[in-house]
Amino acid sequence: MKKIKVLGPGCAKCKTTYSNVLEAVKQLGIQAEVIKIEDIEEMMKYNVLTTPVLMIDEVIKVKGRVADINEIVDLLKQ
C-alpha cells in the first residue's frame, strides 16, 4: 500500500493538492494511506521550506506547487 503525505499549513494550494491526491487514488482504484500534515513542527522534520509538498513512500515528489491529478496518477504508477 502506498503511503502519501501532503505537507502544508492549510493554505488553498495545500488543500487543492490534498484533494487532487484523493482523486488520483480514486481514479487508480488503489489502496493508499493519505496523510495531511499541517503542524509546522512536524513539517520541519522533513526539512522543507516551500509548501505544498507531496511525498510518496517517504520520497518528496513535488514541492512548492500544486500537482495536478494527472501528474499524481503518473507518480503513483511508478
Position 12 scores a pLDDT of 94
- Cβ atoms of 4 and 58 within 8 Å: the answer is no
Q: Indicate which residue of 3, 9, 10, 11 is catalytic.
A: 11
End-to-end CA distance of the chain: give it in Å, rounded.
13
* Residue 14 known to be catalytic: yes
- Cβ atoms of 19 and 51 within 8 Å: the answer is no
Q: Indicate which residue of 6, 14, 62, 72 is catalytic.
A: 14
- pLDDT of 10 > 90? The answer is no
Superfamily of domain 2-77: Glutaredoxin (3.40.30.10)
CA 48 to CA 25: how far, in whole Å? Answer: 24
Question: 53-74, pLDDT tens digit by residue?
Answer: 999 999 999 999 999 999 999 9
Position 61 scores a pLDDT of 97
Position 1 scores a pLDDT of 92
* Residue 20 known to be catalytic: no
Strands 59-63 and 53-56: antiparallel
